[in-house]
Amino acid sequence: MSLPSSVKYLVIGAGIHGLSSAWHLAKEQSAAGETPDVLVIDKTGVGAGASGIACGVVRNNYYQPAMSELMAANVEVWEQDPAAFSYHPVGYVALGAERQVSDLTEVHERQQNIGYPSQLIVGEREVRDYMLGMFPDWRAQGVHVCLHEQKGGFANNMASLQGLAGKATAAGARLMDGVRVTGFEFDGSGAVTTVHTDQGDIQAEQVIVGVGPWVEEIWTMLGLPNRLDVRTPEGEVHRDQNMWTYWYLQEGEIDVDPKLLSLEDGSMPPVLHVDSDAPLYDDERTLITDEFWGNYFKQDLHGVQGGAAPVVVGETFQVDPYPTASVQEGFADMWCASLSHCMKRFEGKRATYKNIRSGGVGCFTVDSFPVFDYMLPNVYVIADSNHGYKMIGVGREVARVVTGGHSSLLSPFRYERFATGDLHPVSNSPYPWS
């Protein structure tokens, strides 16, 4: 297929957001009696970036009301076709230290208010008994609260993206690989008239940007500011802040029979996330850390996979080619020790750790929450701040907005919040996305 000279909807990026946006845009056009005119371009191909190596966890453990409501809508989309999306609705269990009891209690209350099913257990003994009911060798210390989401789970990254690409093309969208954006032309109003690529120019009525960690590159091409003033909810203004910060995502895998993490009846367990302030030791009783730590892990195709808190790498980062391994020295020791801390079955498994192409680098906004907004008159930017893969339904909401509708789910993530102080609350989690 040759590059067309013009298109109504040009989507840049063939990850979770670009493919979902294209799928829903094509469906919106068909529903309106129009022939779909949607083109997705990607400089490499489907899932070549962050979406293709995402851990794949789908959860609604968000302290922020707007994030919780948006994630409930995303889970609805995952549940539409679990087979096509390679989605496993096994649920999600978040366990926290005593300092997190109030946070997870609030999260649970919000989930109940929006009809998202979950169970809250509070108290160190009560949490231990609850977890022993699932895992007889459970032994985690320093855990005082458990939020068990009955919905959510995880999806297999590339399989889900191929399924999503299939839905987009079946709906009438076109996909072109190996097309790199090199610049833009604008009219007097600031709208984009022409998108320059290394394969030729495209005139587009509407442009949707969903490029994951490459957002800073496209953002700069569009002439948007990489530094800004941020007003807090209290009215204080922080001047000249970096719009973007890059973090290495710390993830890995142990090469074991995946069923090592099965429940007693042999079924697939929920995704597990543990935050603890108990001292963490390896199997030889060497202290790994006596500071607040966290992990997450799940049964995967070829073993047990998961990660820990990411590590900041700076304000700019070269993400082309995309990093294939990004863990810092000591991560494997910490993560394997944390698995053993949680369950006896993981004792002695440090030797089975392997570096896999997982995690990579994430591009976080100035407040670590997404920006979903029109940044120019006809350019809608999806800057997911590394919340992205689980948010398969954002494309549905973007399609509604781009075709002239409104999304109350995306409105809280508009860019102007930085100037107005309408920021999202922050929890006591050690993770920057919380």
DSSP-derived secondary structure for 209-250: E--GGGHHHHHHHTT--SEEEEE-TTS-EEEEEESEEEEEEE
What's residue 326's pLDDT? 67
Give the chain's domain count.
1
Q: Is the pLDDT of residue 249 over 90?
A: no
Q: What is the mean pLDDT of residues 354-381?
A: 91
* 88, part of any domain: yes
Instruction: Taking the CA atoms of 408, 410, 415 and 420 in sequence, report the sign of the dihedral they define.
Output: positive
pLDDT of 327 reads 79
What is the band of 328 on the pLDDT scale with cuts at 50, 70, 90? confident
337 within a domain of the structure (yes/no): yes
User: Which of 18, 85, 73 is CA-nearest to residue 49?
Assistant: 18
For residues 434 and 425, give the distance between their C-alpha atoms in angstroms, rounded to a whole number: 9
Q: Please determine, for residue 429, whether its predicted confidence score (pLDDT) is greater than 80.
A: no
202-238 burial, b for 16+ CB within 10 Å, e for fewer?
bebebbbbbbbbbbbebbebbebeeebebbeeeeeee
| Residue 310 structure tokens | 């990411």
pLDDT band, very low/low/confident/very high, at 324 (cuts 50, 70, 90): low
Question: What domain range is 175 assigned to?
Answer: 6-420
Beta-sheet pairing, 353-354 with 244-254: antiparallel
Alpha-carbon gap, residue 141 to 290, rounded angstroms: 12
Q: How far apart are CA 267 and CA 168, in angstroms?
A: 32
CA-CA distances (angstroms) from residue 156 to 81, 149, 150, 161?
Answer: 14, 19, 19, 9
Q: Is the pLDDT of residue 357 over 70?
A: no
Could you tell me the pLDDT band of residue 350, with boundaries at 50, 70 and 90?
A: very high
Say if 431 falls within a structural domain: no
Query: What number is the average pLDDT over the span 308-320?
Result: 82
Assigned domain for 295 exists: yes
Question: Considering only 52-56, 90-94, 113-117, 402-406, which range has the smallest mean pLDDT?
Answer: 52-56
Q: Assess whether pLDDT exceeds 90 at residue 368.
A: yes
Could you give the CA distance from residue 269 to residue 154 in angstroms, rounded to a whole number? 11
Return the amino acid letter for 9.
Y
* Weakest mean pLDDT among 48-57, 163-172, 215-224: 48-57
- Does 255 have pLDDT greater than 80? yes
Most distant CA atoms of the chain, gap in Å: 67
pTM of the full predicted structure? 0.95
Q: What average pLDDT does the structure give for the chain? A: 95
Q: Contact 153/90 with Cβ under 8 angstroms?
A: yes
Give 15-60 pLDDT, tens digit per residue: 999 999 999 999 999 999 999 999 999 999 999 999 999 899 999 9
- Is 427 inside a domain boundary? no
DSSP code, position 9: E
Residue 432, in any domain of the structure: no
CATH number assigned to the domain comprising residue 302: 3.50.50.60
Among 362, 331, 363, CA closest to 216? 363
Q: What is the mean pLDDT of residues 77-106?
A: 97
Structure confidence at residue 306 (pLDDT): 95
Residues with Cβ within 8 Å of 111's Cβ and at least 6 positions away in sequence, in order, are 60, 68, 117, 118, 149
Name which of 154, 218, 212, 165 is nearest 26 in CA terms.
165
Average pLDDT over residues 172-200: 98
**Could you read off the pLDDT of 257-306 as tens digits, one per residue?**
999 999 999 999 999 999 999 999 999 999 999 999 999 999 998 899 99
H or E element that contains 74: helix 65-80
Q: What is the pLDDT of residue 347?
A: 98
Domain annotation covers residue 42:
yes
1 within some domain: no
Asked if 386 and 246 touch (Cβ cutoff 8 Å), the reply is: no
Tell me what pLDDT residue 433 has.
67
